Amino acid sequence: MKILSSASFAAIKKDYKACFGLTVQLINSSGVCVSDAREGSISHLPVVVKARQAALKQGVQWGEANVFYLAPGVISWVVPVVDGDTVLGGIIGGELLSDIEDREVAINYLAGAGYKRDKARRFVMKLTIREQSLWSADISYLYDLVYAVSGYKPRLLNVNRENAQQQREIAEDIQDMKVDVGRLQYTLNDERILLSLMRVGDRSGARRVLNRMLASIFLYSPRPAIVRARAIEMIGYLTRSAVEDNPLQDHLIERHLGWIDKLIHADGFEELCIVVRDTLDDFMNSIMLHGYNRSSTQVQGVLDYLSKNFMTHIALDDLVAEMGISRSHICHLVKQHTGKTVNQHIRTMRLQKACELLADSSIDYSDMAYELGFNDQSYFIKQFRETMGVTPAKYRRGLADVN
């Protein structure tokens, strides 16, 4: 399969040159340049080919553009070109010199690697010296440009980037916990915070909490059987809590069996972490899909109205006037498709919004209660504690600990 069409490569080359003054090159998966056929070009020097191949492989592994040294002091980067799960090759974003004092070192290195010294000197002397804070923009721009022009969907890179990010976060949490031994075991409060973040659809927040819990599980005992057992226990708690919260979520019980099977057969800690994260995503998707069934136009209209107005005083008469259906039918629809009464559903949405405000703002509790439509601060705190299992203050402290 061709790496890129001639038209796509030409468009990328022209755009990037105009923006950053650098010339891109196309390489195959072996690191060989396929866009520069000039005999004796530095692109075909064995050490350069080897460096580019290794950089491309590492970029695919981490799921992102990869910066590497083409020679001492000579910085380059490669954007993996991936379509789906297939690695087609890569685009080299150019070369820069990190410091003027590196020129002679780079020339000597290239000459020692078999490149003619006069050519090595001409190549190095033409290189632009640019600070890292400036060339980092070149890299992100090139990555976005490649996939905007090509139309490729780099599923493999997205998956690998998520996996790498998760392992980095877990490693950081492990190091923090080694220093603070009081954090070695996660608590029921951590599970409650995780579940509440999942309820409001905060995927990134839920993942941060999940990774901290996985780090705690690993430090408690790195034995695979213990790690697996505690991960299964954690997923079981989430499933039970979701079903208790809404009986219409009983479909999660059947899905739970599939999640457990994957956890049992996960090979090693890293794969188990990936399975747990994918389970969390599937769990969140199921909650959002089944918790708010939009198959009925009337249901959609009622729930949309509530979601837009839940922070104000809502009277059933307002819904009757808006939807043109009876009070009893409105109550039946909401109960049938959310498992809650109208007032319970409104309260749930208000508390979910409270979780967002606690995570993303420093607003005080009295103002929060007023903004969310509660009668007063004490009633808000009482309702929050009954639903989330912790007070708003403790919830906010828990999020601060994660960050």
What the block records as the tokens of 290 is 């089944």
| Distance from C-alpha of 333 to C-alpha of 341, rounded to nearest angstrom | 9
- Distances, alpha carbon 325 to alpha carbons 3, 21, 210, 321, in Å: 58, 64, 43, 8
Q: Mean of the pLDDT values across residues 105-120?
A: 91
Q: Which among 252, 254, 271, 251 has a CA at the least distance from the CA of 263? A: 271
Q: How confident is the model at residue 293 (pLDDT cuts 50, 70, 90)?
A: very low
User: Can you give the pLDDT at residue 199?
Assistant: 62
- Asked if 64 and 161 touch (Cβ cutoff 8 Å), the reply is yes
User: Can you give the pLDDT at residue 288?
Assistant: 56
- Distances, alpha carbon 116 to alpha carbons 39, 93, 110, in Å: 13, 24, 8
Q: How confident is the model at residue 291 (pLDDT cuts 50, 70, 90)?
A: very low
Q: What is the pLDDT of residues 225-240, one digit of tens each?
A: 888 888 888 888 888 8
Q: What is the pLDDT of residues 332-379, one digit of tens each?
A: 877 776 667 888 888 888 887 888 788 766 788 888 888 888 878 888
Neighbours of 265 (CB within 10 A): 11
User: Can you give the pLDDT at residue 2?
Assistant: 84
- Identify the residue whose tokens are 């877990």: 170
| Distance from C-alpha of 65 to C-alpha of 398, rounded to nearest angstrom | 34
Burial of 227 (0-12, 13-18, 19+ CB in 10 A): buried
pTM for the whole structure:
0.56
Q: How confident is the model at residue 261 (pLDDT cuts 50, 70, 90)?
A: confident
Q: What is the pLDDT of residues 141-187, one digit of tens each?
A: 999 999 999 999 999 998 888 888 877 777 776 666 665 544 445 55
Q: Mean of the pLDDT values across residues 87-107?
A: 89
- Asked if 171 and 164 touch (Cβ cutoff 8 Å), the reply is no
- Asked if 218 and 174 touch (Cβ cutoff 8 Å), the reply is yes
Q: Which domains does the chain have, with CATH numbers?
A: 6-153 (3.30.450), 158-291 (no CATH), 297-402 (1.10.10.60)
User: Can you give the pLDDT at residue 112?
Assistant: 92
Residue 93 backbone dihedrals phi, psi, to 5 degrees: -90, 5
Degrees (nearest 5) of the Cα angle 180, 186, 187? 125
User: Can you give the pLDDT at residue 324?
Assistant: 83
- Asked if 263 and 235 touch (Cβ cutoff 8 Å), the reply is yes
User: Can you give the pLDDT at residue 50?
Assistant: 93
Q: How confident is the model at residue 329 (pLDDT cuts 50, 70, 90)?
A: confident
Degrees (nearest 5) of the Cα angle 179, 180, 182? 150
Q: Mean of the pLDDT values across residues 282-307?
A: 64
Output the average pLDDT for the chain: 81
Q: Which among 174, 156, 122 has a CA at the least distance from the CA of 29? A: 156
Bigger pLDDT: 105 vs 248: 105
User: Can you give the pLDDT at residue 297?
Assistant: 62
Q: Which of 5-9, 171-175, 382-386 has the lowest mean pLDDT?
A: 171-175
Q: What is the pLDDT of residues 34-78, one digit of tens each?
A: 987 676 688 889 999 999 999 999 999 889 999 999 988 899 999
